[in-house]
A and B are shown apart, each in its own frame.
Chain A
């Protein structure tokens, strides 16, 4: 993943410093704004690949900040951080122009995976009817999957899971992100149910081929990528 320029708008200075440290270690460039006014100024005057916005900020709250930026034609992907975790809070955040929503406390790996996906989605090209990763091909219209020219039978949900992984190929995708985007589950089930689904997908995608495409990223999730 090439370096991103990230704007962190967070009034808790310690939390902002931790975020900046983690993002820098992941190879990204970080600017910090400690209140809404400063955040609005920075977001309006420089180009960022993604911004991380605390929902409750002094000066100007996160929701209205993103709303204002969107009204001004700024479409920098925004991820909301909030201590408010109900479904209604998320809906409100996404409706105001946010692209993703993460409830505090969160794992840093989760945040990193999400903003990388956001930044990549922005740079992605036109809508596609075919997805290709290495020798893996997915035809979204015919709903068929081929690897190295050989057709692979998938159940509908396996197809949806693979589609999500392929759309975000090269990025780390967390279990929570899969639950949200493939099953529309905005809560974490008590047992880890995702790993079994990935194992089944691996059986079909990777088992009979020399190079695996689905990689486990320890402490974070999975990533679909063609090595090399």
Chain B
């Protein structure tokens, strides 16, 4: 229960409850004033009418007429009217009140007093209100009403308003508790899942209610984040395994080459030279893998726009085309460059150049003689299309991962890191790397966002 009191939901519910009760209080106050005030106003009106009639009697028939009228009215059964005609010297002449009440009239001329019993409906002690008049000859007239009826109406109104208020408060508190408990319950479920994930079970996911509210969206976002983390972890694991495998192979070759050379008995200088040459080549290959891995890691760890400048995309493409064209022609490929636009993008020219060079490198490497390579700049899109073997659709995502090579490519030199770097550079530039079917061949495009 104390935990419930500390929750935000409950506090918010409580605050709303206070505001709600405040407004209910104001409404009930208005209701009270208008109902009780209405009843009181009606009584006052009735008294005024009485006074008018008695005054008419007095005007027409003098004192005897007034006394008759008062007597007749006082004698009426179950009346709640109070009358008294008083002679000078304190002698009551007519009426149903035993003596002139004490006290002075209020600002509106109303005299408030207590009566023991008027034979009225309440029968017990009650309050009364009256107006008094001085008549010629020292006579005094009092016309009033027993107010016990009004009092009971007031008591009833107050008691019902009290009930309404109490029920509202009770419902509000109960609602607040229920509301915060249900929210709390769902948040607690999220907490349980996250704790399980912290303990190492990355497969756990937050259950979703599916109603699309804030908590459901929070759960959805948490799940998406967990998917990403799980993907990254899997990627990391895969990279570690790949590094272990892809570096172990050349390292093993290097080691056995050196070991076998040392096992030789003869002192053949040429053989030693050849062995060292091989070892150097193997070491260079290892270093190039390291360099490529490091470049990818450096690109991935960069913060967006770090060192970005306006880059003429067409110039980047032209330089790369210029560098690769002779190689392509040497291989018997038709090499075409189509610069349709000269877009300027925000970026790192060296990294973009490296990405384009890697795509060209792949196209030239994998396209057989007689084929064609087309390099295009159109809009913010750089496309390298070739007529090579292409990449089957189901492998297009996989080849972006480090060290992943198609089985058919294993015979060609390469380290399986080229497209990973292109992908990393594209990501850094908020660009997309799209791999499509060129029917036949591969169409690889880097689609850059428009410069701000």
Give chain A's interface residues, CB within 8 Å of chain B: 85-88, 105, 107, 157, 183-191, 193, 196-197, 199-200
Q: Are A183 and B322 in contact (CB under 8 A)?
A: yes
9 residue pairs of the A-B complex, CB under 8 angstroms, read A86-B298, A185-B353, A185-B357, A187-B295, A187-B354, A190-B288, A191-B327, A191-B364, A197-B323
Among B311-358, those with CB < 8 Å from A are: 319, 322-324, 326-327, 330, 348, 350, 353-354, 357-358
Q: In the complex, what residues of A have CB within 8 A of residue B319's CB?
A: 183-185
Q: Are B357 and A189 in contact (CB under 8 A)?
A: yes
Q: In the complex, what residues of A have CB within 8 A of residue B365's CB?
A: 190-191
Distance A196 CA – B330 CA, assembled complex (angstroms):
8
Q: In the complex, what residues of B have CB within 8 A of residue A88's CB?
A: 307
Q: Is residue B282 within 8 Å, beta carbon to beta carbon, of the partner chain?
A: no
Q: In angstroms, how far is the closest chain B Cβ from the Cβ of A93?
A: 15
Q: In the complex, what residues of B have CB within 8 A of residue A87's CB?
A: 307, 348, 350
Q: Are B327 and A157 in contact (CB under 8 A)?
A: no
Q: Is residue B414 within 8 Å, beta carbon to beta carbon, of the partner chain?
A: yes
The number of residues on chain B lying at the interface, defined by a beta carbon within 8 Å of a beta carbon of chain A, is 27
Q: Are A105 and B287 in contact (CB under 8 A)?
A: yes
Closest partner residue, chain B, to A194 (CB atom):
B323
Q: Is residue B35 within 8 Å, beta carbon to beta carbon, of the partner chain?
A: no
Closest partner residue, chain A, to B283 (CB atom):
A105
Closest partner residue, chain B, to A105 (CB atom):
B287
Distance A186 CA – B291 CA, assembled complex (angstroms):
13
Closest partner residue, chain A, to B328 (CB atom):
A196
Q: Among B284, B323, B330, B414, which residue has its beta carbon within 8 angstroms of that of A190? A: B414
Distance A86 CA – B353 CA, assembled complex (angstroms):
14
Q: In the complex, what residues of B have CB within 8 A of residue A186's CB?
A: 350
Q: Among B294, B307, B324, B353, which residue has its beta carbon within 8 angstroms of that of A85? A: B294
Give chain B's interface residues, CB within 8 Å of chain A: 284, 287-288, 291, 294-295, 298, 307, 319, 322-324, 326-327, 330, 348, 350, 353-354, 357-358, 361, 364-365, 414-415, 418
Closest partner residue, chain B, to A156 (CB atom):
B322
Most chain B CB within 10 A, of A87, A185, A186, A187, is at: A187
Distance A164 CA – B323 CA, assembled complex (angstroms):
16
Q: Are B326 and A85 in contact (CB under 8 A)?
A: no
Closest partner residue, chain B, to A190 (CB atom):
B361
Q: Are B323 and A191 in contact (CB under 8 A)?
A: no
20 new A-B pairs (CB below 8 Å) besides A193-B327, A196-B330? Answer: A86-B298, A87-B307, A88-B307, A183-B319, A185-B357, A187-B357, A188-B291, A189-B323, A189-B358, A189-B361, A190-B358, A190-B361, A190-B365, A191-B361, A191-B364, A193-B323, A193-B324, A197-B323, A197-B326, A199-B330
Q: In angstroms, how far is the closest chain B Cβ from the Cβ of A176?
A: 12
Which DSSP category, helix, strand, loop or mixed, fits chain B's interface? helix
Closest partner residue, chain A, to B329 (CB atom):
A196
Closest partner residue, chain A, to B299 (CB atom):
A86
Q: Are A196 and B287 in contact (CB under 8 A)?
A: no
Which DSSP category, helix, strand, loop or mixed, fits chain A's interface? loop
Q: In the complex, what residues of B have CB within 8 A of residue A107's CB?
A: 284
Q: In the complex, what residues of A have CB within 8 A of residue B322's CB?
A: 157, 183
Q: In the complex, what residues of A have CB within 8 A of residue B418's CB?
A: 190
Q: In the complex, what residues of B have CB within 8 A of residue A200's CB?
A: 326
Q: In the complex, what residues of A have CB within 8 A of residue B295's CB?
A: 187
Q: In the complex, what residues of A have CB within 8 A of residue B284's CB?
A: 107
Q: In angstroms, how far is the closest chain A Cβ from the Cβ of B285?
A: 11
Distance A28 CA – B343 CA, assembled complex (angstroms):
50
Closest partner residue, chain B, to A86 (CB atom):
B298
Distance A196 CA – B358 CA, assembled complex (angstroms):
17
Q: In the complex, what residues of A have CB within 8 A of residue B287's CB?
A: 105
Distance A143 CA – B175 CA, assembled complex (angstroms):
89
Distance A199 CA – B365 CA, assembled complex (angstroms):
19
Q: A105-B287, A193-B327, A196-B330 are in contact. Are A187 and B361 (CB under 8 A)?
A: no
Most chain A CB within 10 A, of B287, B288, B323, B361, is at: B323
Q: In angstroms, how far is the closest chain B Cβ from the Cβ of A222?
A: 15
Q: In the complex, what residues of A have CB within 8 A of residue B298's CB?
A: 86
Q: In angstroms, how far is the closest chain A Cβ from the Cβ of B444?
A: 15
Most chain B CB within 10 A, of A183, A184, A196, A197, is at: A196
Distance A189 CA – B298 CA, assembled complex (angstroms):
17
Q: In angstroms, how far is the closest chain B Cβ from the Cβ of A29?
A: 27
Q: Are B353 and A196 in contact (CB under 8 A)?
A: no
Closest partner residue, chain A, to B318 (CB atom):
A157
Closest partner residue, chain B, to A192 (CB atom):
B327
Q: Are A185 and B361 in contact (CB under 8 A)?
A: no
Most chain B CB within 10 A, of A183, A184, A193, A197, is at: A193
Most chain B CB within 10 A, of A85, A87, A184, is at: A87
Q: In the complex, what residues of B have CB within 8 A of residue A86's CB?
A: 298
Q: Are A85 and B323 in contact (CB under 8 A)?
A: no
Q: In angstroms, how far is the closest chain B Cβ from the Cβ of A217?
A: 16
Q: Are B354 and A183 in contact (CB under 8 A)?
A: no
Closest partner residue, chain A, to B277 (CB atom):
A219
Distance A190 CA – B307 CA, assembled complex (angstroms):
25
Q: In the complex, what residues of B have CB within 8 A of residue A184's CB?
A: 319
Q: Among B307, B323, B327, which residue has its beta carbon within 8 angstroms of that of A185? A: B323
